[in-house]
Amino acid sequence: MNNVRIAGVGHYLPNQVWTNHDLEKKIDTTDAWIFSKTGIRQRHIADPSEATSDLALYASLNAIKNAGLHAEDIDLIVLATSSPDMIQPSTAAILQGKLGAVNAAAFDVGAVCAGFVYALVTATGMMRAFDQYKNVLVVGAETYSRILNWQDRTTSVFFGDGAGAVVLTRSKEPGYMGHYLMNDGLGWDVIKFPAGGSRIPASKSSLEDGLHAFQMDGKKVWDFAIKAMPQAVRAAAKDAGCEVSAIDFVVPHQANINIIQRSMKELGLPMEKTYPTIEHTANTSGASIPIALSFACQNGKVKQGDLVAFVGFGGGLSWGSAIFRWTK
Ligand SMILES: CC(C)(COP(=O)(O)OP(=O)(O)OC[C@H]1O[C@@H](n2cnc3c(N)ncnc32)[C@H](O)[C@@H]1OP(=O)(O)O)[C@@H](O)C(=O)NCCC(=O)NCCS
């Protein structure tokens, strides 16, 4: 098996920012409610001229540069999104064209907010198994502002737009240590965005009827997430052959600060071992983990030799964790 490490990290957040106070003017909500329930103060919103693939492009350029590589060096692009440019082709395919990654295969992974962890594990597995994948770009990119019904305050206030990316390369020492992925399809309707293949009849107004917008049962998500996040980290640590207490840094999905705090406590890990970005970015679904990693790296929170656990959970219901030794 080939060893795989993370060699480059990057992110992109659109320029436009909507604060909770901006939302107070549009819908029946308050900054106090949103902040106390989620830890969110603001979210970035993509410009109408920016597609999910554009956000992915800017994050990818940063990650490839950070790895000291060029787009032509990339052999494979694995992109996690649940707000793709189109149902078909894949957003990874569109990104590949925009990047000029002329030597790369490309495909999307759909596991909603756990998508980045699924993509990271998929890419790592392909690199470990097959010699032809030497430099792989793993991206999370989302424009939830396009799939939300902004009038539905029980979902809209949680989300924002953004993209993050990592470049995986071969290494002498193990970077990748272990992982855990799981799904509970009986909970498929807790988080959903119906598409052309669903049984729901087409409607004249696409998003406003509430059927053709993103939908979430927040309380059911809470019950699921507070169990899934610690369980995934414990299972990944077991697979990696380490104790949870040996983990130096956790990069969790940025869904809700209260879920992060509760899960870190449950794992017996202090909050100093994570670096939340949710206050500034809100929940960027499949993009939140690489964005949070990028901010942590920029702020010197991840050190050479650290054991880093990535953990995601969301629609599916899907969840998972991957553990890497930081050897960047
Ligand atoms: C949704 C969630 C915040 C609800 O928290 P809670 O403490 O159970 O909520 P409460 O019962 O105190 O509050 C619900 C009330 O707030 C109201 N409310 C909902 N959204 C609101 C908003 N944006 N602003 C103001 N009030 C809001 C509801 O209408 C409800 O009112 P009611 O009691 O009169 O019916 C919580 O369950 C949660 O964080 N879930 C996880 C969601 C998540 O992270 N999703 C990401 C998916 S990856």
Residue 37 Cα to ligand 1 midpoint, Å, equals 7
pLDDT interval class at 264 (50, 70, 90): very high
Of ligand 1's listed atoms, the one at least distance from the Cα of 283 is: 46
> Is 312 in contact with 291 (CB distance < 8 Å)?
no
Q: Is the model's pLDDT at 316 over the cut of 70?
A: yes
Mean pLDDT over all residues of the chain?
Answer: 95
Closest residue by Cα to atom 29, ligand 1, is 154
Exposure of 327 in the CB half-sphere (CA atoms within 13 A): 16
Residue among 135, 179, 253, 256 flagged as catalytic: 253
The whole-model pTM stands at: 0.95
Contacts of 22 (CB under 8 A, 6+ apart): none
End-to-end CA distance of the chain, in Å? 20
Q: Which residue has the tokens 């990339």?
A: 74
Residue 193 Cα to ligand 1 midpoint, Å, equals 19
Task: State how beta strands 215-216 and 191-192 pair.
Answer: antiparallel
**How far is Cα 158 from Cα 153, in angstroms, rounded to an integer?**
9
Query: pLDDT of 68-124, one tens digit each?
Result: 999 999 999 999 999 999 999 999 999 999 999 999 999 999 999 999 999 999 999
Domains of the chain: 3-174 (3.40.47.10), 177-325 (3.40.47.10)
| pLDDT value of position 218 | 95
Residue among 113, 135, 149, 179 flagged as catalytic: 113
Percent of the chain residues past pLDDT 90, beyond the cut: 92
- Give the distance, in angstroms, between the CA of residue 308 and the centroid of all CA atoms in the same chain: 16
Q: Is the model's pLDDT at 328 over the cut of 80?
A: no
Q: Which residues approach ligand 1 with their CB closer than 6 A?
A: 29, 33-34, 37, 113, 153-154, 157-158, 216, 218-219, 221-222, 255-256, 259, 283, 314
Query: pLDDT of 179-212, one tens digit each?
Result: 999 999 999 999 999 887 666 555 544 555 555 6
Residue 147 Cα to ligand 1 midpoint, Å, equals 19
Percent of the chain residues past pLDDT 70, beyond the cut: 95
| pLDDT value of position 206 | 52
